[in-house]
Amino acid sequence: MKDKKTPIELDKVRYIMFDLNAFYETEQHFGSFNGMIEQLNTNPKGAIPLLLWIGLLHDDEALTVEQTIEWTHDISHYYIAEKILQAVSIGLPESNTSNTTNKPSTDTASIEKGWDWAWFFYMGTVLFNRSEAVFWRTTPRKLFAMWDIHRQVNGLDQAQPESKESAQARAFVDQYL
């Protein structure tokens, strides 16, 4: 699964991506996802360059907010906001109406409270054995897709725990495979 990036024409074609690092930075700067949306509505001239900077950090960690302010000076804020929101949407996990037992929540209420970053970090670095750098550059969409597969492979998405007899029978069969 490859991460998708949103192209935007600035000083040159650049690519916005909201990976875990970008979502974390968004939470740090705006307090919450809804805080970001509110700032986009009430203070677009302040919020847009900051969000653009956050979305471009994956490509250039030396980038500054001042550079994004300079690049966006003559560009429609609606165009930039549309690109930012497109990148955010691409980075978020797909909506899933199936059983979400044992799945971290990304619904609007959870996003408003803030994500459980310790759990995400544990999931990415311990369960999936990713380096810290790779973890932060992973999109929530990819992390949650891996979590779904992890649950399936490890039987965590079963409605009821496996019975003792079933586990013993499976263990007996596994001895001969």
Query: Tens digits of per-residue pLDDT, 51-65?
Result: 999 999 999 999 999
Number of domains making up the chain? 2
C-alpha 97/C-alpha 149 separation (Å) is 16
Residues 84 and 116 in one domain: no
pLDDT of residue 12: 93
C-alpha 122/C-alpha 130 separation (Å) is 10
Residue 146 has pLDDT above 70, yes or no: yes
Q: Say what percent of the chain tops pLDDT 70.
A: 79
Q: Is the pTM of this model over 0.75?
A: yes
Q: Which domain holds residue 155?
A: 108-175
Q: Mean pLDDT throughout 7-16?
A: 95
Q: How far apart are the first and last CA of the chain?
A: 31
Residue 99 has pLDDT above 50, yes or no: no
Residues 27 and 59 in one domain: yes
Mean pLDDT, the chain, rounded, equals 84
Residues 85 and 134 in one domain: no
